[in-house]
Every structure is written in C-alpha cells, then in structure tokens.
Amino acid sequence: MMIFIWILQLICVPALSPLCMGIIKKIKAKLQNRVGASIFQPYKDIWKLLHKDEVISTDASWVFRFAPFIIFATTIVIGASIPLFASFLKNTLTGDLLVVVYTLALGTFFLALAGMDTGSAFGGFGSSREMTISALAEGGLILALFTTALSIGTTNLFVISNAGMLLSTQFFLSTILAFIGFFIVLLAETGRFPFDNPATHLELTMIHEAMILEYSGKRLALMEWAAANKFFIFAALGANLFFPYGIAHSVDTQAIVIGIIILLIKIFILCAIVGIIESTMAKFRFFRLPDLLITSLILSALAIGLIQMQIL
C-alpha cells in the first residue's frame, strides 16, 4: 500500500499541473467574455511539442541542452518531497523546508543559465530579471515557510502539515500574515501577474518567456511542463501548510481519496484567485516589483514576531 501511495505522490504533480494552467486560462477567458480553449489544452500543447523537431543554436553549450531535463527533474523531486494528499509519509531526506527551497533555487539557476547560454539579448535580460526577482523573493519564501516551522517546532514539511496550524487559534493571525506573504512569492516565482505576463512575447514585459525563447520541440515541452509543475508545487505548499484541512493522516483508502479530492478543490480555489487577479489588474513596472516583494518579507517577519511573542 505504501509503495502505491509513493507512486501516486510521484506522478501527482506532473499529471495534474497542466490542468492548473488550463483552468487559469479558462477562468481568464470567461472573465473576459471569451469562450477560451479547453482546460485540457495544455496537455495537447505539451504532446504536440514532444513530437516536433528541435532547432538548437550552434553557439549553445551543454547547459542549454541539458537544462530542461535538470529543471524538469527538480520539479519531479520536489513534487515527491512535499505533502500533497497525505501527511503520514516519512520523508526525512528531501522533505525538509530548506532542501525544498534550495532545490527550487537550483532549477531557477539552470533556467537563468540556459537563457544566457546562446548569447541572445532576450535571454540575457530575461535571466537578469529572473535572478533579481528570485533573490528578492527567496527571503520572503523562507520566512513564510519558517513561520509554520517555528509554530510546530520542526522543518519537516510532512510533520508541519500533519500538525495543522490553523486548527490552533493561537497562531491564526500569524498564519494568515505568512500566507499572504507566501502568496505574493507564489506569484513572483511562477511568473504570474503582476510580476510577469506568461501570455506575451513583448520585450518590455516578458521574463520567463525571454529565457525559453530559443527552445523548441521536446525541450520547450519540458520547460513549459516544468513551469506548470512549479506552480502546482507552490499551490500545494500553500494549501497544505497553511490550510491543512482534509489531508490524510493515516493509511486508509477513504482518507486518501478524500485527501486527493480536497487537494484538488484547494488547488482549484488558488487557480481561480490567480485567474481573477490576472483579469483585474495590470502587470507592474519592473522597478515596482521589489516593493511588493519587500512587503512579502515584512509580512512574514511580522508573523514570526507574533509567534515569538505568543510562545514567550
């Protein structure tokens, strides 16, 4: 039974992440009075790209060729290292808060290297912007997750989700503040509004798209798939660390099924919120983004301060 649960945990992120992208696009289309593509269109796009030929620059090194595989592999490893629908899994090797954060940073590092590798002007400024945002967002992300770790007394994500922070009213306000800070980082790290526009190739607005502009075929499919995986990972972390309701606490078939259903509901709610945000506000100017990320850092630091006061 445990082997089956681990296999389900392993395939959950890559299997469901394209659906999140499809749901966000569908919600945006509805809010803009358009029919929009099917929510399963991202699966078709990935399948189509996997069967297309590739064009690789003669100036590209091994970094450009292997970066999509490394980035996609990091998202698979992280997907198997975080609590999705069950909190009873004992992952002490890669389930630590800092391991997850810096594995995500490893994927971002290779993404930025790949953007610069071919010498493209677009890739260069895209990588520069990406590293600037990542450097500012990393502090807010660590502090937001550290808020949950400080409340429970461990940095293991499965133990944190098993404890259920919001079930204790003592840390309710701190949890809400930390979640708001985490949600801002989620938008930044996954390239959503107001930080980036994932649906454009305009020079002044694109960040993530600039770094993958030179890719085509199978490697582009892996890049797009990895981006969807990253969004699902952040959404699952926000749903199960700050709102761990419905997650399975025991090896029981009914509890696992309920955990998967509730996970999908929470992910759908987050996708709906992102879709509404992207339909009701414009992308910020790049020089306004640090202010928003510093706000995330301050909220998370304030949440930690409140927890320290309550503990003392």
Q: Which long-range contacts (CB under 8 A, 24 or more apart) does 53-58 make?
A: 53/216, 53/217, 54/216, 54/217, 54/218, 54/219, 55/216, 55/217, 57/118, 57/214
- Residue 169: its pLDDT value, please? 62
- Residue 312: pLDDT band by 50, 70, 90 thresholds? low
What is the average pLDDT score of the chain?
87
- Residue 40: pLDDT band by 50, 70, 90 thresholds? very high
For the chain, percent of residues with pLDDT exceeding 70 = 95
Beta bridge partners of 86: 248
Instruction: Record the pTM.
Output: 0.93
pLDDT for 167 beyond 60: no
CB-based burial, 124-143: b 16+ in 10 Å, e otherwise: bbbbbbbbebbebbbbbbbb
- Residue 202: its pLDDT value, please? 63
Asked if residues 71 and 107 have their Cβ atoms less than 8 Å apart, the reply is yes
Report the SS3 class of residue 280.
helix
- Residue 285: its pLDDT value, please? 81
* SS3 annotation, 60-74: CCHHHHHHHHHHHHH
- Could you read off the pLDDT of 199-217 as tens digits, one per residue? 766 666 677 788 888 888 8
- Could you read off the pLDDT of 258-301 as tens digits, one per residue? 989 999 999 999 999 999 998 888 788 878 888 889 999 999 99
pLDDT for 181 beyond 80: yes
- Could you read off the pLDDT of 116-158 as tens digits, one per residue? 888 777 888 888 888 888 888 988 899 999 888 888 888 888 8
What mean pLDDT do residues 4-21 have?
90
Residue of 111, 125, 105 whose CA lies nearest to 215: 111
